[in-house]
Amino acid sequence: MDRFTKSFIRQEPIPEEAIEAATRVLRSGALHRYGADPSEVAALEVAFAAQTGAAHALAVASGGYAMGCALRALGVGSGDAVLTNAFTLAPVPGAIAAVGARPVLVEVTEDLVLDLADLEAKAGQARVLMLSHMRGHIVDMPALMAICDAHGIAVVEDCAHTMGAAWDGHPSGRWGKIGCYSCQTYKHVNAGEGGLIVTDDADLAARMILLSGSYMLYARNGTAPGEDVFARHKGLMPNVSGRMDELRAAILRPQIRDLPQQVARWNALYRALEDGFGGAPGLRTIPRPQAEAYVGSSIQLLVDDARAVPDFVAGCAARGVEWKWFGGDRPVGFTSAHRHWDYVAPHDLPRTDAILCRLIDLRVPLTFDADDCALIARIVTEEAAQHLG
């Protein structure tokens, strides 16, 4: 019986160019975000703003910090309601709760994106939507923006799983007021931890730069707005130190540049798995709209019979294929669901719950190749025949 032996969490080595840049920073001793001239952090901000087409970028300590910073810059505070996806990972409602706000969860569809009908129904409850492009699935963005614009809702995009993705040619993170990205090891670029924020709004950019701990050095941000903009916000924004350090920025710059090539590699692996799973009984893949340019760093399947999921997942695990299941009664590792977040008020989400109990998820690291995908697909198909057929 075939068994898969590679790790689903093993990443590629950091590129040599990034290692050399990191060594230069270490030898300089100037690791602080405002301790180097020229600055790796400022250069990263310039590069990422150019790559996404944004007017302003800010490099920060984590994707979670990015979301919290965005919410604070929009004036979200204690008791405020913030709309967000019912299907997401804990850092998204966590960022909302951490600023004292209340997550209002919106149902999702079987395509794993925000249910626009439920968004329309709940639009009057909040003035901000934290939109999670969960596991890289992008909702119809023009339709979503039409709803939000009609109700005066500011959109913050959580692009932890969509750095390098787009809808109808328009980059993820560039539809709403603010786009937030993660540079954590298991995302699309790897600094261990880190985040990036983009916006076209000069006032929001100034507030977030001040929030990130710029002291009186805010003009050293790589894409800082003018002094007149900062004058409107100095003294009003608390210092919540969180701008990225020089070492992580040095590691990231070559990775950001090479992201399009990495996306192509991920998508080739994703398509190989998608094709391989096509003949497995009792399973179905998630359709990808023509307008969506995705990054296939993970793949999701829906199981026809929710009752069979535990045995199927266990059968695959015994052969080295590590599915994550969102229907478990307790959180496991990075995988949790809304009923596990005790800091979020309980929600009645029948459509989302009916999906999560059937939803399984698999990482697609770039350490895999086409032969690995073929073996995984063969194991999954055999286990599906045994447990789901």
The residue ranges of every structural domain in the chain are 16-257, 259-387
Q: Is 88 in contact with 352 (CB distance < 8 Å)? A: no
Beta bridge partners of 103: 82
Predicted pLDDT at 335: 84
Q: What is the mean pLDDT of residues 137-150?
A: 98
CA distance 103 to 85: 9
User: 370-387 and 309-318 are packed helices; what angle lies between their axes, rounded to 10 degrees?
Assistant: 140
Q: End-to-end CA distance of the chain, in Å?
A: 19
Predicted pLDDT at 329: 81
Q: What is the residue type of 36? A: A
**Mean pLDDT rounded to a whole number for the chain:** 96
Task: Specify the length of the chain in residues.
Answer: 389
CA distance 49 to 63: 16
Predicted pLDDT at 83: 98
Beta bridge partners of 303: 283
Flag whether pLDDT at 337 surpasses 90.
no
> Top-level CATH class of 16-257?
alpha beta
Predicted pLDDT at 173: 98
**Tens of pLDDT, residues 322-332:** 999 998 888 78
Predicted pLDDT at 59: 98
Q: Is 76 in contact with 82 (CB distance < 8 Å)? A: yes
DSSP letter, residue 126: -
Predicted pLDDT at 21: 97
**Tens of pLDDT, residues 256-292:** 999 999 999 999 999 999 999 999 999 999 999 999 9
- Global pTM reads 0.96
**Tens of pLDDT, residues 166-195:** 999 999 999 999 999 999 999 999 999 999
Q: What is the mean pLDDT of residues 304-313?
A: 96
Flag whether pLDDT at 333 surpasses 80.
no
Predicted pLDDT at 206: 98
Predicted pLDDT at 190: 97
> Top-level CATH class of 259-387?
alpha beta
Neighbouring residues of 118: CB distance < 8 A, sequence distance ≥ 6? 106, 107, 351
